[in-house]
Structure 1
Amino acid sequence: MEQKAESSYLEYNSQRSPLIIPEYGRHLQKLIDQLTQIKDRDERNKAAKYVISVMGTLNPHLRDVPDFQHKLWDQLFIMSDFKLDVDSPYPIPSPEALNLRPDRLKYPQNFPKYRFYGNNIKYMIDVATKWEEGEMKSALILVIANHMKKSYLSWNKETVEDEVIFQHLYELSDGKINLMTSNEELSNSQSLIKVNKKVSNKAQFNNQNKNSNQKNQFKKKINQKNKRN
């Protein structure tokens, strides 16, 4: 009978109210709930400062945050479900501000005709068309054309004539950049292919080193375990 009487006073998590910020635990949440029920304002202010000091002790990593105290005071009001009425050294947050959702990110939904160039090339072309005529603009256009040729070769793995790149550049710039009648020559296809191969080989070499290091570490752990046994 005594065991049944004692079990009736047990409090299960399923019967408790959910924790607003679980990291602080149930005891601090109860302390804040009691804080909101203090009638005397001066006593309530003193108790709030004590709770802030406890919260700071529980989260020493927040001391590296520049706005450490401001964050703790905001969390105090949030955990009190915005029912706490005390003198805060910082602006009191509102439930509306807490429930605000960030603006939806605008992802590029461009579907270019030549996808192997990417959206950045189109952006660079648009910028180049707005520059004033001169050596700087001519140099930028030549850099863009060479990069287009390099991108073309990295996807198609074939040689390409400069006239093809000039035609694509003309189309992507809406006819504002025309190199088809110029005497400009782009970098040699073979040299650009070698550059692409060097980049891919370097990435492959790094992956191989990473895998070999992981294997060596695994072997060391096995050897250490065998020695202990």
Structure 2
Amino acid sequence: MEYNTERTHLNMPEYGRIIQQLVERCKELATKEERNEMAIAIVDFMGQRNPQLRDEENYKHKLWDHLYILASHDLDVDSPYPFPTMEELQEKPKKMDYPKLQGDFKFYGKSILQLIEMAIKLEPGDEKDALIQVIANNMKKSYNVYNKEHVQDEVIFRHLKDLSQNRLDLTVLDSLEKSKIYYATNRNNKNTGRNQQNQNNQNKRRNFQNNKNRN
């Protein structure tokens, strides 16, 4: 009986013992042509055993890298991709830069900052004014959800001014309720609700009539 402790080390256990043994056999082949042919077959087999890798970008490149790792970085074949070095594999990934929001405004989210930048780049006019008002309305919704309290419009105006570094200013408005965007949004919401209620009433009448006909 052969115990796992007596077998060769599995460099990548997720591929299993069979593929590890195939790689070891490939290394022992006498000619490079034979090794190349078997290496291609092994990579194809690895892809079949791990179909989820096909959803990843450059999955073929990754499979060849894994083949080289399985061979303990000692495999003389012609790879379509450069094999990774030990240094590259041991190198720690670079730390990701997370978006930073100014001050205590994290609850507004990154999308608000992106919209603010878009509004800043627009030329003065109705389109820019409309976008600024949309931003302010969304900021108000985000603030109310995060803080669980009603916020005065002047607070939103001040935050918008701070986030845009004084480049967007709605202080000329008394409130968001006086903006065209607010009225348009609420009118659409009311119409949508009214249409939905009418549809529900029609469905109820239709169901009632159908039940009556059956009886």
Which interval holds the TM-score relative to the shorter structure? 0.5 to 0.7
**Take 2:18 and 2:28, find their aligned partners in 1: how far apart are those partners?**
16
Does residue 1:135 correspond to 2:126, yes or no? yes
Compute the RMSD of aligned alpha carbons: 3.7
**Take 2:142 and 2:45, find their aligned partners in 1: how far apart are those partners?**
58
Q: Corresponding residue for 2:49?
A: 59
Given that residues 154 and 175 in structure 2 are in contact (C-alpha distance below 8 angstroms), is that contact kept between their aligned partners in structure 1? no
Q: Corresponding residue for 2:164?
A: 173
Does residue 1:107 correspond to 2:127, yes or no? no
Structure 2 unaligned spans of 5+: 190-215
Match for 1:171: what amino acid? D
Query: What SS does the corresponding residue of 2:129 show, helix, strand or coil?
Result: helix
Given that residues 62 and 68 in structure 1 are in contact (C-alpha distance below 8 angstroms), is that contact kept between their aligned partners in structure 2? no
TM-score, with structure 2 as normaliser? 0.62
Deviates more, 1:162-171 or 1:63-72: 63-72
Given the superposition, is the C-alpha separation of residues 81 and 139 from structure 1 closer, same or farther in structure 2, using an over 3 Å criterion? same
Match for 1:142: what amino acid? Q
Structure 1 unaligned spans of 5+: 1-9, 196-229
Given the superposition, is the C-alpha separation of residues 142 and 33 from structure 1 closer, same or farther in structure 2, using an over 3 Å criterion? same
Query: What SS does the corresponding residue of 1:187 show, helix, strand or coil?
Result: helix
Given the superposition, is the C-alpha separation of residues 164 and 46 from structure 1 closer, same or farther in structure 2, using an over 3 Å criterion? closer
User: How many angstroms does 1:19 deviate by?
Assistant: 0.4
**Take 1:30 and 1:172, find their aligned partners in 2: how far apart are those partners?**
60
Q: Corresponding residue for 1:158?
A: 150
**Take 1:60 and 1:119, find their aligned partners in 2: how far apart are those partners?**
36
Query: What SS does the corresponding residue of 2:28 show, helix, strand or coil?
Result: coil
TM-score, with structure 1 as normaliser? 0.59
Q: Corresponding residue for 2:3?
A: 12
Does residue 1:145 correspond to 2:136, yes or no? yes
**Take 2:53 and 2:99, find their aligned partners in 1: how far apart are those partners?**
39
Deviates more, 1:116-125 or 1:140-149: 116-125
Query: What SS does the corresponding residue of 2:21 show, helix, strand or coil?
Result: helix
User: How many angstroms does 1:106 deviate by?
Assistant: 0.8
Deviations 1:19-45 (A, max 9, x none): 022233324323322321333334434
